Structure formats: C-alpha cells, structure tokens
C-alpha cells in the first residue's frame, strides 16, 4: 500500500429537510386543522481515528465527501428521516486543518477518537407549530437549515515511540530490518527510503514502535532533497536515535548537519531526547572507532554508542537505552 501523509479534501454536511404544509382531510372530522411534520436533520461529517491504518491513500482518489440531506416533513405530523452521517476513517495520529493549513481543527491521537467537522442542518418546522387561536389554518413552514461545507487538509503524523534520523546512507533501514520484522528497501545509494517505515521492537518484557524516517540533507528545511516534510513524524516520537555513518572521515559534519535541520524546523525537536549512534563500525579498526567516538563525545557532551546494523553488534544496548528514555517521557506525559 502506498504511503500518503497529506491530503486535501472537500466536505459537506447534509441540509436539513424542509417543514411540511399539510391539512387533515379525513371523513367525519369537521375541523381537520394543520398536520405538517418537521423536516429531518441533515447528516454530519465525522472523522474517526481507527487502528490498522497508516496512510491517507484512501483520500488520494476520492476528494469530495458529502453527508445525506434530511428528508422533508410529511402530513399526519410525520417527521422526515434524518440524513446519514458521512464517516471519514483516518489513521491514529491524523491532524485536521482548515484550508489555510494553519488553523487546527482536530488532532486525533487515540483509537476511537472522533470529531464532528461539519454539522448537518436542523430540519424546518412544519405548519403544525404555527397553529394558534387566531390562525387556525397556517400555511407557513420553515425551510431546513443550510449545510456546512469547507475544504480541509489531513496531515498524518505517525505515532512511534522512537524515530531513526540521520543523513542518507547512515544505515537506518538496515538498523530497522535488523531489529524488527519490517522489510524496508536497502541499497548502497542514498534516498532508498522514500516514506516512513514502522517496525515493532521486541525486548525481554518490553516493546516499542520504531520509525525509520527518510534521510535529511543540508537545506532540507528549505525543501532541498525530500525536504522536511517527514520531520513532522518525529514530533510524535519520544526519543530520537541519531545514526551516523562511522566510515565518514569527519563524523562531526553529519551530526551538525542534522542538528541544524532539526533546529531550523522548530516544533521543539532540538530538545527531544537523543541517542547518538556510530553505525557501520564493522568496517573500521578498533582504534579508528575509539578516535571517532571521542571526537563526537567532545562535541556533544553525550555518550556515543557504537553499533553495526549488519552484524547486530551493540544494537541491543541502544534499544534498551531507547526504552528507558521512552519510559521517562511517558511518566512526564
């Protein structure tokens, strides 16, 4: 299934049914009087977050969604039927914005959470409501209330506990494939990952969701490369696992590049817990690994982990550290 994390759609609720003008016409009843019923209520447009969905691809090919209109009232004081609601099923983690992309309508973070995006119009009153001592045969009925319509944007921000970040070819896909049952594309050229990939980490007595996010490059916040579009998914993560290719001559350059892009993107990503990992150490000599580890520790003032996604060396230690950071974040939520 193709991954899609943005979609623009048009929604329209149902118009309320008109009230009815009717009079009783029955044998042996001398004074029939008005008996027009009310119109039915128009359907609402409702968005609901459901599990087992991780893409907005359903909204790529159908972009107009309308609820049913309410039926008109009828004689014998019969109320028209209400229009059916239009249900939009979206993945958990979907944010809904007005057309301006700035005004947030809803943020659906929990399964089953729902919000009414456009309310159906109320049905009009039939002429029965207008009967009085001075007006025994009213010929007035209210029209149904109009529908609401608008264009909205759906933005999906995947809910993962930890996110893999780093430059292209840092080994993120290999790391994900080695630690989960996910099967991301792996190749020896940049940008093999074109959309976020999810996998579940299983540790002894613990598990969490890990997301492999497409590689950033310098200038991503300005739209270069794949841009910063997928950084929105990091906002949901409680911890970032920053992978750095240990085979590069200067390992401080990729670290500073990614940190700069995180800061330029904003949304407080720069302050999220970060685990820094030197990857691909199976291609280096022990003294080279120690030298690059010390260089990064001096720059970041943090512990630098060394792993090989290919052989699995050091991977479990990083995962346990990520699990601890996730637990800390959960306690402060």
| Domain boundaries, given as residue ranges, for the chain | 6-156, 162-332
Residue 298 corresponds to which tokens in the numbers above? 């001096």
| Helix (H), strand (E) at residue 52 | none
Q: What is the largest CA-CA distance in the chain?
A: 109
The dihedrals phi and psi of 34, each to the nearest 5 degrees, come to -70, 145
The reply to whether 204 sits in an annotated binding site is: no
Return the minimum-mean-pLDDT range out of 186-190, 223-227, 278-282.
186-190
pLDDT bin (cut points 50, 70, 90) of residue 233 is confident
The hierarchical CATH code for the domain 162-332 is: 3.40.50.300
User: What per-residue confidence (pLDDT) applies to 184?
Assistant: 46
The reply to whether 172 sits in an annotated binding site is: yes
User: What per-residue confidence (pLDDT) applies to 1?
Assistant: 47
How far apart, in whole angstroms, are the C-alpha atoms of residue 69 and residue 153?
Answer: 24
Let me know if the fold of 6-156 is the same as that of 162-332.
no
How far apart, in whole angstroms, are the C-alpha atoms of residue 38 and residue 217?
Answer: 62
Percent of the chain with pLDDT over 70: 89
* Model pLDDT for residues 148-164, shown as the tens digit of each residue: 999 999 998 877 788 88
* Model pLDDT for residues 18-48, shown as the tens digit of each residue: 999 999 887 777 777 899 999 999 999 999 9
Could you tell me the end-to-end alpha-carbon distance of the chain, in angstroms, rounded to an integer?
A: 33
The reply to whether 135 sits in an annotated binding site is: no
The dihedrals phi and psi of 281, each to the nearest 5 degrees, come to -70, -15
The reply to whether 213 sits in an annotated binding site is: yes
The DSSP bridge pattern shows strands 274-279 and 6-12 to be unpaired
How far apart, in whole angstroms, are the C-alpha atoms of residue 313 and residue 324?
Answer: 20
Name beta bridge partners: 34.
Answer: 23
The reply to whether 193 sits in an annotated binding site is: yes
User: What per-residue confidence (pLDDT) applies to 191?
Assistant: 43
The reply to whether 256 sits in an annotated binding site is: no
Answer for the pair 147, 118: CB distance below 8 angstroms, yes or no.
yes
CATH 1.10.10.10 fits 6-156, yes or no: no
User: What per-residue confidence (pLDDT) applies to 215?
Assistant: 59
């Amino acid at each position: 299934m193709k991954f899609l994390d943005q979609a623009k759609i048009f929604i329209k609720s149902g118009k309320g049914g008109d009230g009815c003008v009717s009079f009783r016409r029955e044998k042996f009843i001398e004074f029939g009087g008005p008996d027009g019923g009310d119109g039915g209520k128009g359907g609402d447009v409702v968005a609901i977050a459901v599990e087992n969905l991780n893409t907005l691809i359903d909204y790529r090919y159908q972009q107009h969604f309308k609820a049913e209109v309410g039926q008109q009232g009828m004689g014998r004081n019969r109320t028209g039927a209400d229009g059916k609601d239009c249900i939009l099923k979206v993945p958990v983690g979907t944010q809904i914005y007005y057309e301006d992309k700035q005004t947030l309508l809803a943020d659906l973070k929990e399964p089953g959470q729902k919000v009414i995006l456009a309310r159906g119009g109320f049905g009009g009153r039939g002429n029965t409501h207008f009967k009085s001592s001075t007006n025994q045969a009213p010929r007035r009925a209210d029209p149904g209330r109009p529908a609401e319509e608008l264009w909205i944007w759906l933005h999906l921000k995947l809910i993962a506990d930890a996110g893999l970040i780093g430059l292209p070819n840092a080994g993120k896909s290999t790391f994900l494939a080695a630690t989960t049952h996910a099967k991301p594309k792996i190749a020896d050229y940049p940008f093999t990952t074109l959309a976020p990939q999810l996998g579940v980490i299983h540790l002894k007595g613990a598990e969490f969701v890990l997301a492999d996010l497409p590689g950033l490059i310098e200038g991503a916040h300005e739209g270069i490369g794949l841009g910063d579009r997928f950084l929105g998914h990091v906002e949901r993560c409680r911890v970032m696992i920053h992978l750095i290719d240990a085979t590069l001559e200067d390992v401080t350059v990729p670290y500073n590049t990614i940190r700069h892009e995180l800061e330029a993107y904003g949304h407080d990503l720069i302050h999220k817990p970060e685990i820094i990992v030197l990857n691909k150490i199976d291609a280096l000599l022990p003294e080279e690994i120690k030298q690059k580890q010390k260089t990064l520790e001096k720059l970041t003032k943090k512990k630098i982990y060394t792993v090989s996604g290919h052989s699995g060396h050091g991977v479990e230690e990083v995962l346990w550290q990520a699990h601890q950071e996730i637990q800390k974040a959960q306690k402060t939520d």
